[in-house]
Amino acid sequence: MYDPSEADACVEELRAALAAHGITLPSLGVDLPTFAARCPTRLLIALGNCNMLTAQALTAALRKGAE
């Protein structure tokens, strides 16, 4: 069984890492239906929707990090 506090910590770490690059994903959060599954095998983090400028900033940050 998953510990909700671990999921929340994961989301906050990702939020902080994105913020370090000036990126905000407003819908970022734990995928609550994951906890409703009978035997969840993996915890899901919902990244949500973002506008094109945010997607471009995320792409640039990922590319820079891969260099």
Q: Please write the tens of the pLDDT for every residue from 19-45.
A: 999 999 999 999 888 777 776 667 889
Tell me the two tokens of residue 1: 């069984």
What are the boundaries of each domain within the chain?
4-66
Model pLDDT for residues 45-61, shown as the tens digit of each residue: 999 899 999 999 999 99
Q: How confident is the model at residue 1 (pLDDT cuts 50, 70, 90)?
A: low
Prediction pTM value: 0.81
Q: How confident is the model at residue 2 (pLDDT cuts 50, 70, 90)?
A: low
Q: What is the pLDDT of residue 66?
A: 84
CA distance linking residue 59 with residue 39, whole number of Å: 34
Q: For the chain, give the mean pLDDT.
A: 87
